[in-house]
Chain A
Amino acid sequence: MMRRRGKAMATRDDLPVRWVRSPLTDAVKLLKRHAAALHQGDADRPISAITLVLAGHAYAQQDTISGTLAGILPTMRNFIEWDQGVGIVQNPGCSGENFADKWPEKPRKQKLYLDWLERAERDFMEFLRSGDPRKIPEGLAKGMTTTSINRALGISQPAYMRSPAAMVAAEAGKVTAEGRDTKPWFPN
Chain B
Amino acid sequence: MAITNTHRNTARRPWFTATRKEAALGWLFAMPWIIGFLVFTVGPMLFSLYTSFTKYNITTPPQWIGLGNYQELFADDRFYTSLYNTFWMVVVKLPIVTVASVSIALLLAMDLPGGRLFRTVIYLPNVLSGVAAVFLWQWILRPNGLLNEALSWFGIKGPGWFVDPLWTKPGMVVMGMWWIGSNILIYLSGIKGIPKDLYEAATIDGARGWKKVRHITLPLLSPTIFFQIVTGIIGTFQVFTTAYILTGADSAGGGPGQSLLFYVLYLYNRAFGRSGPAGFQMGYASAMAWILFIIILAITLLQLWLAKRWVYYESGDAH
* A associates with B: no
